[in-house]
Structure 1
Amino acid sequence: MEIRKDDSSDSEQQEVNSVEAIPSSEERSGIMPPSELIAHPRQEHHQSFWLWVMCLTGVDYFSTLGYQPSLAYEAAGRLAPIATLLLIAVTLGCALPVYRFVATKSPHGQGSIAMLEKLASGWGSKIIVLVLLGFAATDFIITKTLSAADAAAHLVHNPYWQDLPSVFQGQMTLTMGLLVLLGGMFLRGFREVIGIAVFLVGMYLLLNLIVIGSGLYFIADHGTLFGDWWSQVLTGDWEIPNPPVGGNGLFPILATCLILFPKLALGLSGFETGVVVMPLVRGDIDDNLDQPLGRIRNTQRLLLTSATIMSILLFGSSLVVSTLIKESELRGGAAADRALAFLAHGESHFTISPIFGENFGAFYDLFTVLILWFAGASAMSGLLNIIPRYLPRYGMAPQWAEATRPLVVLLTFVSLLVTWIFDASVEAQGEAYATGVMVLMSSAAIAVVIDIWQESRALGSPRIAWGYVVATLVFCYTTIAIMFEKPDGTQIAGVFILSVIVASAISRIKRSTELRFDRFEFADEESRVLWETLKYLDFPVLVPHRPGRHSLEQKERSIRQTHRLGEEIPIVFIETFLGDTSEFTQSPTISVLEESGRFVVELTKCVSIAHAIALVSLELAQSGKVPEIHFGWSERSPLTASLDFVLFGEGNIPWLVRELIRRAEPDPEKRPRVLIG
């Protein structure tokens, strides 16, 4: 192992020396981060103009127009446009400010989960992340399955597609086929995703502007349509099977919209993706790497622009659908799950535009299917980014989880299973999807409130950001309402969470005897020089010492007597101090002291005592004579000691040190010896 000076800091007081150890996981496996859509922290990717990157997020966000107008009518009937106005208010007044703030804290694409991870510590932080990963998996998986199901619905109703053999007409068959095709694409790999996204989003928005714009022009040109709709709304003829509030007038309307608002929460999806793709946003030339203000500013523009475009399209589509399509067509009819495509095909009983018909409808279906399918690709990419970012780093996933192909196969299988459970139904998956979306948004809002409180308290003037508190309450209300109304999403998320935690625990236990070492850091130059001296001691004996129980003199006397060591044999004491034991890899800081002729190696920020001792012995064995490590017997039970080791980094130390050395050093002649007396 090579000793080198780390010149990463300009400050002399913070200058440290480090010993390089094992390579990174990517270097070991030859695999670069799995997703080209999303970057790992501090990894520079090819960057593009923010408007083009917006199209990448818009693949997920704007594609909801394929099913959101239908789902809004399913939930709120003729009140859908008013409920959509409430959705827009939440989008612009709550979600947008929250994620603009998240963007300032995650310029390298960490997202809101990373914010919460930093605000907590220890195992509490890890559990929070694991739970949120379960909900994130729900979000991304059901984005894939829901988008594929809606794409299949558009194909099934396309008159040209209906000319194909019957084997291609089944909703389940088509949905699963699209998911398998998506998995195959990721196994092969693809590039130029931003260029594809710009083309798809541009064409899809243009087609929707034509459909929605034509519908709005038709409504304006036939004034009785809007008047009839408004009078029906005021008289309580809402076309809602079981309205939560009855009666006429504005109060029942607003109360009903508030109660039904969670059913429209799918329209909030896409914000998390907007901050995750930040590494792809081009900033200013003079941007600081740690806090690139230009990139942050452009990402905030991206979020504002996409939210504004989507708000306009959501309201317009909701008003057009509610006034120009019959209820029988929207509830279980030909317009279900494809309301705008229904209009584009000219299937409405109104002649809205002379260009609407089979040809224009087929063209509209083509781009709807493509953008929905590509939204599934965006979701898959998000999963391929988020799993390697957290679980392997925690030691809570096998090393193959850092490779793309095994993950693609696993995630495709899970997507097929979820599709089968929900019978490839768009409506059935809608609120399960909304559960994952809203939990992530709620956690983001909570993280923002806590972050502002902690920063202001550190400055001596603690304050509560009441605007963000209101946003948090809105998101939490929506999340709880969705969970009670449709527990499917919670159940799916619960399965994911349980699977993640169980698999993580098993993986952590199985990987506990990996060396888990990044590098040594030296506290000062004197420690580095003394460390070099230790490497050339003649027959060094290493003795772990826990400060506070016995003095170094008492410990040395006991060891020499018990292990029959002569006075001429040098002893090096190792004192370890635990840091965050929930971390998997460690970079301990070394301080080497010489006290009364005795060498003392202090290691701080350790995640495991056994690993720290094994690392010191293996490093010393590289240059000088192979050392011996002398232990005394412990009175603790083996089971208690093993549990303490897995959870808290201490316990069963002699056996574990020997096992770590055996696994790390294949040559028995170079292995430090472990003695217990």
Structure 2
Amino acid sequence: VFLKGFSEAIGVAVVLVATYLGLNVVVVAVGLGEVISEPHLIPDWTAALTAEHGNPLMMIGIALIVFPKLALGLSGFETGVAVMPHVQGDPEDTEEKPAGRIRGARKLLTTAAVIMSVFLITSSFITTLLIPPAQFQPGGQANGRALAYLAHEYLGSAFGTVYDVSTILILWFAGASAMAGLLNLMPRYLPRYGMAPHWARALRPMVIVFTLIAFLVTWIFDADVDAQGGAYATGVLVLITSAAVAVTIAARRAGERGWTIGFGIISAVFVYTTAVNVAERPDGVKIGACFIGGIMALSLLSRLARVFELRVTHLELDDMAQRFIRDTANRTIRFIANEPDSRDLTEYRQKKEQIRADNDIPAADDVMFVEVTVLDASEFESSLKIRGEVLHDRYRVLTLESSSIPNALAAFLLHVRDETGQRPHIYFEWTEGNPMANFLRFFLFGQGEVAPVTREVIRAAEPDRARRPHVHAG
């Protein structure tokens, strides 16, 4: 009801979920009926608990200790978060205030949480009372399939088989929904930072990659449900724990003391649960570390391979900047790359004199200063905003805002060439320091040895040497 698009997929999902919920309702209802029809079950169970654990406080303590082992039962609570970007908002929603989407997401998550909580509690209750403990052990018929065991035991093999098939289909759908969440999240982050190849924005290649990963994990664990369950539980707990901590921080920043305390307690419970689960079943952390390491390594290689791309999505000049370019269109266009420091009269005068002397620029030729301010070096692509201003009543300065100095200058020079039909000149000073250290500064922070990198970006963007802007360094 709350999702937009994917009409065919949602149709299939509705049928699968409705069927699975219906079958579960039947099994749980029959199980509760059996418990009610045999009144000795509950007294026997409570007597066994009292005899083994003494008092209710001891039971609660044991339950807290055992809780991490039951973490896999929380699976599903986290998948609702993955589909939140697909929730339909109101027509008047904006990116800053998506009130309709938030309202719809709250309904979606609340509905899912209520349904799952009811099923978890009731199914745990009836399976504990109706299934012999030995059947829960590894190799037992109820191990990993307690409700299916009850379906076969109390409703016959035909119904049990239908329940088994429905379970397989709903698990397939759960995997598909998790993949849909990944397909929605991945293109939002890694490509934004240049840490993924271009094909990562396309759905089909990513589907193939995630499918192969799923096969690989299944192969590594020999298709063992218990082994994969430990790794999956770790992933679920990490997601829920990080969300709980994030909400606690948000409540604290909002000054909501009561909510902060409440969410803080919940966060502490999940931190403890995650830590115990990791200690008892480290497979999840090992696999997660391998994937994180692989993603980071491939991401860094991808960004390194694409470091000389133009990386400017849009270029915008204000009126003054356009006027500067028009005024120089009928003569040699010369720019001086300047690092904006104090921006006083002395800085510009000395820079201009030095560049003229180093490059033998005729005194009659006019020059303009170009200054780039790095906003966020982690952004791989960015738009380029160019403003023109006259400083100290004599120096024309073009100021650029971008995520990388060389890429911004290269894009600007190519734009000037296209607008004026001339190949502009730009003049740099050599940067002091180790070249490798300067390259790393550029790779990480968008700064460093600007002159050769600017030239390399231009070379990569313009294969025709006769059309490339001139880059001078002295």
Same topology, TM > 0.5: yes
Partner of 2:295: 500
Tell me, yes or no, if the aligned pair for 1:535 and 1:623 is still in contact at 8 Å: no
Residue identity matched to 1:357:
G
Separation of aligned partners in 1, 2:263 and 2:332: 63
* Higher alpha-carbon deviation: 489-498 or 287-296: 287-296
| 1:317-376 Cα distance to aligned partner (Å, 9 max, x none) | 111111111122221212222111111112xxxxx4xxx112111221221111111111
- The Cα of 1:449 is off from its aligned counterpart by 2.6
Separation of aligned partners in 2, 1:569 and 1:464: 67
| 1:412-458 Cα distance to aligned partner (Å, 9 max, x none) | 222222112222111112221121112122222222233334445xx
Tell me, yes or no, if the aligned pair for 2:148 and 2:160 is still in contact at 8 Å: yes
C-alpha spacing 1:497/1:534, structure 2 compared with 1 (3 Å): farther
Partner of 2:122: 316
Partner of 2:27: 211
Structure 1 segment 542-557 matched on structure 2, within 5 A: 542-548=335-341, 551-557=347-353
- The Cα of 1:566 is off from its aligned counterpart by 0.9
| Structure 2 counterpart SS, 1:513 | coil
C-alpha spacing 1:431/1:531, structure 2 compared with 1 (3 Å): farther
- The Cα of 1:578 is off from its aligned counterpart by 1.7
Tell me, yes or no, if the aligned pair for 1:453 and 1:463 is still in contact at 8 Å: no
| Structure 2 counterpart SS, 1:548 | coil
Q: Would you say 1:366 and 2:161 are equivalent positions?
A: no
C-alpha spacing 1:658/1:529, structure 2 compared with 1 (3 Å): closer
C-alpha spacing 1:271/1:327, structure 2 compared with 1 (3 Å): closer
Separation of aligned partners in 2, 1:535 and 1:357: 88
Residue identity matched to 1:569:
D
| 1:168-207 Cα distance to aligned partner (Å, 9 max, x none) | xxxxxxxxxxxxxxxxxxxxxx961111111111111111
Q: Would you say 1:344 and 2:184 are equivalent positions?
A: no
C-alpha spacing 1:279/1:594, structure 2 compared with 1 (3 Å): same
Partner of 1:583: 379
Q: 2:400 aligns with which of 583, 598, 603?
A: 603
Partner of 2:410: 614
Residue identity matched to 1:403:
A
Q: 1:428 aligns with which of 227, 246, 253?
A: 227
| Structure 2 counterpart SS, 1:518 | strand
C-alpha spacing 1:281/1:640, structure 2 compared with 1 (3 Å): closer
Separation of aligned partners in 2, 1:363 and 1:192: 23
Separation of aligned partners in 2, 1:426 and 1:533: 70
C-alpha spacing 1:535/1:454, structure 2 compared with 1 (3 Å): farther
Tell me, yes or no, if the aligned pair for 2:278 and 2:284 is still in contact at 8 Å: yes
- The Cα of 1:515 is off from its aligned counterpart by 0.9
Q: Would you say 1:256 and 2:62 are equivalent positions?
A: yes
Structure 1 segment 403-482 matched on structure 2, within 5 A: 403-456=202-255, 465-482=260-277
| Structure 2 counterpart SS, 1:589 | strand
Q: Would you say 1:276 and 2:69 are equivalent positions?
A: no
- The Cα of 1:577 is off from its aligned counterpart by 1.7
Separation of aligned partners in 2, 1:495 and 1:304: 34
Tell me, yes or no, if the aligned pair for 1:527 and 1:590 is still in contact at 8 Å: no
C-alpha spacing 1:329/1:403, structure 2 compared with 1 (3 Å): same
C-alpha spacing 1:285/1:613, structure 2 compared with 1 (3 Å): closer
| Structure 2 counterpart SS, 1:384 | helix
C-alpha spacing 1:427/1:389, structure 2 compared with 1 (3 Å): same
C-alpha spacing 1:402/1:563, structure 2 compared with 1 (3 Å): same
Q: 1:488 aligns with which of 256, 275, 283?
A: 283
Separation of aligned partners in 2, 1:220 and 1:497: 50
- The Cα of 1:536 is off from its aligned counterpart by 2.0
Q: 2:428 aligns with which of 622, 631, 634?
A: 631
- The Cα of 1:521 is off from its aligned counterpart by 4.3
What percentage of residue pairs aligned between the two structures are identical?
A: 43
- The Cα of 1:590 is off from its aligned counterpart by 2.0
Tell me, yes or no, if the aligned pair for 1:454 and 1:462 is still in contact at 8 Å: no
Q: Would you say 1:234 and 2:72 are equivalent positions?
A: no
Structure 1 segment 632-671 matched on structure 2, within 5 A: 632-671=429-468
Separation of aligned partners in 2, 1:594 and 1:537: 21
| Larger radius of gyration between Structure 1 and Structure 2 | 2
Tell me, yes or no, if the aligned pair for 1:535 and 1:620 is still in contact at 8 Å: no
Structure 1 segment 138-177 matched on structure 2, within 5 A: none
- The Cα of 1:283 is off from its aligned counterpart by 4.2
Residue identity matched to 1:409:
I
| Structure 1 counterpart SS, 2:237 | helix
Structure 1 segment 495-574 matched on structure 2, within 5 A: 495-522=290-317, 525-533=318-326, 536=329, 538-548=331-341, 551-574=347-370
- The Cα of 1:621 is off from its aligned counterpart by 0.7
Separation of aligned partners in 1, 2:258 and 2:315: 40
C-alpha spacing 1:627/1:532, structure 2 compared with 1 (3 Å): closer
- The Cα of 1:592 is off from its aligned counterpart by 0.7
Separation of aligned partners in 1, 2:214 and 2:335: 53
- The Cα of 1:411 is off from its aligned counterpart by 2.1
- The Cα of 1:220 is off from its aligned counterpart by 0.5
Separation of aligned partners in 1, 2:327 and 2:193: 32
Higher relative contact order structure (alpha carbons within 8 Å, sequence separation ≥ 6): 1
| 1:253-311 Cα distance to aligned partner (Å, 9 max, x none) | 11110011112122323334323323443444554564232332222122112111111
Tell me, yes or no, if the aligned pair for 2:231 and 2:285 is still in contact at 8 Å: yes
Separation of aligned partners in 1, 2:142 and 2:304: 52
Partner of 1:333: 140
Aligned length: 468
| Structure 2 counterpart SS, 1:633 | coil
- The Cα of 1:464 is off from its aligned counterpart by 7.7
| Structure 2 counterpart SS, 1:675 | strand
Separation of aligned partners in 1, 2:244 and 2:136: 35
Separation of aligned partners in 2, 1:405 and 1:380: 12
C-alpha spacing 1:390/1:322, structure 2 compared with 1 (3 Å): same
Residue identity matched to 1:545:
N
Separation of aligned partners in 1, 2:254 and 2:59: 42
Separation of aligned partners in 1, 2:91 and 2:467: 51
Partner of 1:37: none
Separation of aligned partners in 1, 2:394 and 2:259: 56
Tell me, yes or no, if the aligned pair for 1:576 and 1:612 is still in contact at 8 Å: yes
- The Cα of 1:463 is off from its aligned counterpart by 9.3
| 1:522-580 Cα distance to aligned partner (Å, 9 max, x none) | 5xx54354355356251111111123376111111111111111122121111122222
Residue identity matched to 1:581:
A
Tell me, yes or no, if the aligned pair for 1:534 and 1:620 is still in contact at 8 Å: no
TM-score, normalised by the number of residues in structure 2: 0.92
TM-score, normalised by the number of residues in structure 1: 0.66
Separation of aligned partners in 2, 1:322 and 1:337: 13
Tell me, yes or no, if the aligned pair for 1:235 and 1:248 is still in contact at 8 Å: yes
| Structure 2 counterpart SS, 1:539 | coil
Separation of aligned partners in 2, 1:271 and 1:232: 32
Separation of aligned partners in 2, 1:471 and 1:462: 14
| 1:111-141 Cα distance to aligned partner (Å, 9 max, x none) | xxxxxxxxxxxxxxxxxxxxxxxxxxxxxxx
| Structure 1 counterpart SS, 2:192 | coil
Residue identity matched to 1:228:
D
Tell me, yes or no, if the aligned pair for 1:438 and 1:475 is still in contact at 8 Å: yes
Tell me, yes or no, if the aligned pair for 2:200 and 2:206 is still in contact at 8 Å: yes
C-alpha spacing 1:277/1:464, structure 2 compared with 1 (3 Å): closer
